[in-house]
Amino acid sequence: MQQKIFIKTFGCQMNEYDSNRIYDAVREIGFEKTVKYEEANCYLLNTCHIRDKAKEKVYHEIGRVKKIFRLKTKPLVIIAGCVAQAEQEEMLKREPYIDLILGPQAYHKINDTILKYQNEKRKNEETEFDAITKFEYLSKIKNQTTTISSFLTIQEGCDKFCHFCVVPYTRGPEYSRPFNQIIDEARQLVNHGSKEIILLGQNVNAYNFESFRLSDLILELEKLSGIERIRYTTSHPNDMTEDLIDVYKNSKKLMPLVHLPVQSGSDKVLNLMNRKHSIKNYLKIFYKLKQINPNIEFSSDFIIAYPGEEQIDFEKTIKLIDEVKFINSFSFIFSPRPGTVAADLPLIDKKKSIERLEIVQQKLFNNQININKKIEDTTINVLVENRTDDKSKLFARSEYMTSVLFSGNDDLIGKIVKVKIKNSNRNTLFGEAIEQSNQKVA
């Protein structure tokens, strides 16, 4: 009988990449992907531990699976990702429905672990950090992702230990994949039709393999003729080196959106967070890039109400948002994470925290609305990725990652198209196709 695997993914793009690669791996032992829970005989949950209720979310999801399979044969249940790494065998004890635990640096063991389980029916947990073997193993298995825009992990882990963050504990120490391994994988993606490559890493701009940096990778990828757009995420301000900034002078394919999380506008809070950079450093990078190309825009992550954030610190965050005019950002109230330095710090009053978050989000949302309004009645280049779920429109992205919807034929999928923007809301631009490679569209 054909074995079917259902993979559900929480968390960041690196988890999405991992889920795709897990699927590439289990195909080798006869699994086929399904998008229907009830068809699966293997259920894999790829988890995220970044904010509160992460664990509860996992157990809640398992509860759902249990219900679905109440009258059917129980599937093999695998918990992968950052909660698996953080909780390890505790999960097997708390929820007997779970069969296997697999940490993010142990995916090279997935097939052996599944086969062993099928033979011996013994629960197991694999959570060693072994990024080298993981990527060596995965590089021998073709990346079969067939999306127009594809993720490609080039770097894993983090040595920075910001006081609020679980990543150094769940993903382990910084590791950069070999340069040629990445280029080979990019070629596979292009051969499957990818037009945009999004280079990923928890600290992607810390990429450092032998003498190769992220800037070298971008310039090498740019030579692949099938690639139209290159992006990278997530960066740390301290790794925004001159060579990377210089790439913006010459690159034709690197998109003009820089996602550079700042977390807070106050040096005092940055210091408390152990971020190891100042607002002055951050703005220096911002203005350098703006000087190279005034069309470059920034997006960021913010942590609001970090322990010790006073009104004056919060106002500095607002001031920074006014100055940089971030095009798109993520903002969350600080969530204490077990095992981190900030885990037990006294929290800011909940009501005040929510008020501050609302003020920040209102500002960020207004920026987004205003930026989108300004684009109305102009013509922009978009990369068409697919159709909307209801099939009525083409779904594309602007150079700044904003969703763009317009009418057109399927043969525009995978192409860069000029679209005249007619209307907008905070998250989406609506337009009409003007032309694609001199060819009129329906």
Residues that bind ligand SAM (CB under 6 A): 12, 50-51, 164-165, 167, 202-203, 234, 236, 261, 263, 301, 303, 332, 334-335, 337
301 binds, among ligand SAM, ligand SF4, ligand F3S, none (CB under 5 to 8 A by kind): ligand SAM
Shortest distance, position 102 Cβ to ligand SAM, whole Å: 19
Cβ(258)–Cβ(232) under 8 Å?
Answer: no
Spell out, one character per residue from 313 to 332, where the chain touches ligand SF4: x when CB under 6 A holds, - when not: --------------------
- Closer CB to ligand SF4, 131 or 394, in the complex: 131
409 CB-side CA count, 13 A: 7
202: contact with ligand SF4 by CB under 6 A:
yes
Locus of tokens 């009525």: 392
Contact 307, 345 (CB under 8 A): yes
**Three-state secondary structure call for residue 341:** helix
Structure tokens at 306: 């970090």
Torsion of CA 60, 61, 63, 69, to 10 degrees: 170
| Residue 234 Cβ vs ligand SF4, minimum distance, rounded to whole Å | 7
Q: What is the DSSP letter of 311?
A: H
Site string for ligand SF4, 349-378 (x = CB under 6 A): ------------------------------
Is 168 near ligand SF4 (CB under 6 A)? yes
CB of 417 within 8 A of CB of 384? yes
Instruction: Rank residues 19 and 234 by Cβ distance to ligand SF4 and give the closer one.
Output: 234
Residue pair 402/430 in contact by the 8 Å Cβ criterion: no
Contact characters 233-262, ligand SF4, x per CB under 6 A: ---x--------------------------
Going by their DSSP bridges, the two strands 416-424 and 379-387 should be labelled as: antiparallel
- Total interface residues for ligand SF4 by CB under 6 A: 10
| CA–CA gap between residue 420 and residue 414 (Å, rounded) | 18
Compute the least distance from the CB of residue 236 to ligand F3S, in Å: 14
Per CB under 6 A, 155 contacts ligand SF4: no
- Tell the smallest beta-carbon distance from residue 236 to ligand SF4 (Å): 5
Would you say 257 and 401 are in contact if contact means Cβ atoms under 8 Å apart? yes
Structure tokens at 258: 């820089």
CB of residue 158 to ligand SF4, shortest distance in Å: 3
Considering the complex, what minimum distance in angstroms separates the CB of residue 172 from ligand SF4? 11
Cα–Cα–Cα angle for 381, 382, 384, nearest 5°? 150
Q: Which is nearer to ligand F3S, 81 or 265 (CB)?
A: 81
- Structure-token match 């925004």, residue found: 240
Pick from 231, 242, 232, 234: which is nearest to 284 by CA?
A: 242
Binding residues (CB under 6 A) for ligand F3S: these are: 11-12, 14-15, 48-50, 81-82, 166-167, 170-171, 202
Q: CB under 5 to 8 A by kind: which of ligand SF4, ligand SAM, ligand F3S, none does 105 bind? A: none
Give backbone dihedrals phi and psi of 78, rounded to 5 degrees, phi first.
-120, 130
Residues near ligand SF4 (CB under 6 A) are 158, 160-162, 165, 167-168, 202-203, 236
